[in-house]
Amino acid sequence: MKTILLCLLLIYCPLLLLSKTIVVDSNGQIRSLKRAIELASAGDTVLVKSGTYKEGNLIIEKSITIIGENFPILDGEHKHEIFTIHANDINISGLEFRDTGTSSMNDLAAIKVLDSKRVTIIGNKFSNSFFGIYFANSSNCRIENNQLKASALAEYEIGNGIHLWKCEQITIDNNRIEGHRDGIYFEFVTNSFIKNNHSERNLRYGLHFMFSHNDEYTNNSFINNGAGVAVMYTKNVKMYGNTFQQNWGAAAYGLLLKDIRDSEVIGNHFIKNTIGIYQEGVSRTVFENNNFYENGYAIRLQASCDDNTFKRNNFSSNTFDLATNGTMVLNTIDGNYWDKYQGYDMNKDGIGDIPFRPVNLYAMIVERIPSAVLLWRSFLVLLMDRAEKVIPVATPENLKDNAPSMKPYDRSKKS
C-alpha cells in the first residue's frame, strides 16, 4: 500500500510542479482575464483579484481553474454571454457575474457549459443574468453554494436560474435562486442530485423537471414561486424532505405531478399552497410521512392515477383534504392522520375504528362551480356535508381511509 502511494506521489508531483498560477489584477501585470486564459495551459490556475472586468464573451477550452478573490465582477454589459465552457475538468469559484445579454434567439448565460465532464461551479454570485448556469450534454459536474438573483417582471424577459439539458450525474447543492423564470430546470437529466437548494419568487416554477429519470431531490425549499414545482413524464424520481410553501394562484401547485411512475414522495412539507399536490397520470408512487398544513386543497387526485399509496401523512388545517374528479378508486389511502376525523377508538390502539372519507361533498361542488366557494363554512354547507358523510351519494364511496390515526404522526421520532 505504501509503495503504491509513494508511486502515485512520484507520478503526480511533477504535474503539481508544472502547473502554475496566473494572477489577473486590474493594476498588475496581466490586466485581462482573456489574456490570462490564453496564457494558461491545462492544469493551471487563474487567480482573479477584485475589480470589474468587462471583456465580453470568454471561451474556455482548456482544463483550468478560475478562482476569484473577494468576488471580482465579470460584467456582461447587457450584451454578452460571459463564460462559454467547452472542456473537461474546469473549476470556477468565487466570481460574481453581472448583467448578461438577453436574447430570444440564443440562450445567453452567465456560465454555459457544453459537452463537458467534471466541471465544478462553486460559490459564485450571479445577478441579473438571463440564464444563470446552463449545462448541455455534460456529465459528472457539481454546482454548489451559488447565489443567483434576478429581478425580471415577465417570463419572456428572463431565463432559468440553473438550466440542465441532457446531462447525467450532476450534483446541485446548497444554491439559492431568486427571481428567474424557472429556479432549476431539468430536461433529460438522469442520475442526479438536487439538495439543500432554496428557490424563491421565481416567475414560473421553483423546479421544472421533465424526462429526467432516476433523480433524487432532498431538503430543498420552494417558496412563493409563480406556479410551484412541476415534475413531469418521469420515472424513479425520489423526493425527500422538501418544503413547498405559499405557492398561491389558480394554477399554482406545491407539487404538480404529471405522468410519473415508480417514484417516492417522502417526508415533505406542504404549507399554505392553493393545491398541495396535484396529480395526473401518476402510477405506483408512494406518498409517505408528508405533512400537509393550511393548504387550500392538500391533494387533488385525478382519476387517471392508479396504484398509489398514501400512508402516515398528516393532514391538518387544510380547507379540503382530498379532491378527486371520478368515482373509481384505484389508490389506497389507509393509515393517515386527518384532523377532520371524528371517529372513536374503542380498543385504544391509536387507530380509529370507523373509516374516514376525506373527500368532501362541498369540495366536489366547488370543483364544478368555483363561485360556490363563497358559501364555504356556512351552516347550510355544514348540514350538507354531514348528510353526505352519513349516506355518500356524490362522493366516491370507496375512497376512504380504513385505518385513520387518532393522533398526528410525530416527525421528531424515528420509527
Site string for other proteins, 229-248 (x = CB under 8 A): -------------------x
CA distance linking residue 18 with residue 171, whole number of Å:
30
- Nearest distance from C-beta of residue 248 to other proteins, angstroms: 4
Regarding 297 and contact with other proteins (CB under 8 A), the answer is yes
- Nearest distance from C-beta of residue 391 to other proteins, angstroms: 19
Among residues 11, 105, 379, 413, which is the contact residue for other proteins, using CB under 8 A? Answer: 379
Regarding 373 and contact with other proteins (CB under 8 A), the answer is yes
Regarding 380 and contact with other proteins (CB under 8 A), the answer is yes
CA distance linking residue 304 with residue 334, whole number of Å:
19
Regarding 386 and contact with other proteins (CB under 8 A), the answer is no
Regarding 292 and contact with other proteins (CB under 8 A), the answer is no
- Looking at beta carbons, which pairs linking 190-198 to residues 24 or more positions away fall under 8 Å? 190/214, 190/215, 191/215, 192/164, 192/167, 192/168, 192/216, 193/217, 193/218, 194/218, 194/220, 195/171, 195/219, 195/220, 196/220, 197/172, 197/173, 197/221, 198/223
Regarding 406 and contact with other proteins (CB under 8 A), the answer is no
Residue ranges in 327-356 that form contacts with other proteins under rule CB under 8 A: 339
Among residues 138, 197, 274, 283, which is the contact residue for other proteins, using CB under 8 A? Answer: 274
Regarding 253 and contact with other proteins (CB under 8 A), the answer is no
- Nearest distance from C-beta of residue 144 to other proteins, angstroms: 33
Give the three cell numbers for residue 167: 446531462
Among residues 381, 389, 406, 411, which is the contact residue for other proteins, using CB under 8 A? Answer: 381
Instruction: Give the list of residues 6+ apart from residue 33 with CB closer than 8 angstroms, or none.
Output: 24, 46, 48, 53, 55, 58, 74
Give the three cell numbers for residue 312: 402516515
Question: For residue 403, which amino acid is it?
Answer: A
When the beta carbons of 134 and 315 are compared against other proteins, the nearer one is 315
Instruction: Give the list of residues 6+ apart from residue 59 with CB closer than 8 angstroms, or none.
Output: 84, 86
Regarding 33 and contact with other proteins (CB under 8 A), the answer is no
- Note whether 171 and 142 are within 8 A (CB): yes
Regarding 273 and contact with other proteins (CB under 8 A), the answer is yes
Question: For residue 259, which amino acid is it?
Answer: D
Interface size with other proteins, residues (CB under 8 A): 32
Regarding 296 and contact with other proteins (CB under 8 A), the answer is yes
CA distance linking residue 89 with residue 190, whole number of Å:
20
Regarding 377 and contact with other proteins (CB under 8 A), the answer is yes
- Nearest distance from C-beta of residue 297 to other proteins, angstroms: 7
- Note whether 128 and 98 are within 8 A (CB): yes
- Nearest distance from C-beta of residue 215 to other proteins, angstroms: 28
CA distance linking residue 27 with residue 51, whole number of Å:
9
When the beta carbons of 344 and 379 are compared against other proteins, the nearer one is 379
Regarding 319 and contact with other proteins (CB under 8 A), the answer is yes
CA distance linking residue 141 with residue 90, whole number of Å:
10
Query: Given the rule CB under 8 A, which residues bind other proteins?
Result: 248-250, 252, 272-274, 294-297, 316-317, 319-320, 339, 368-383
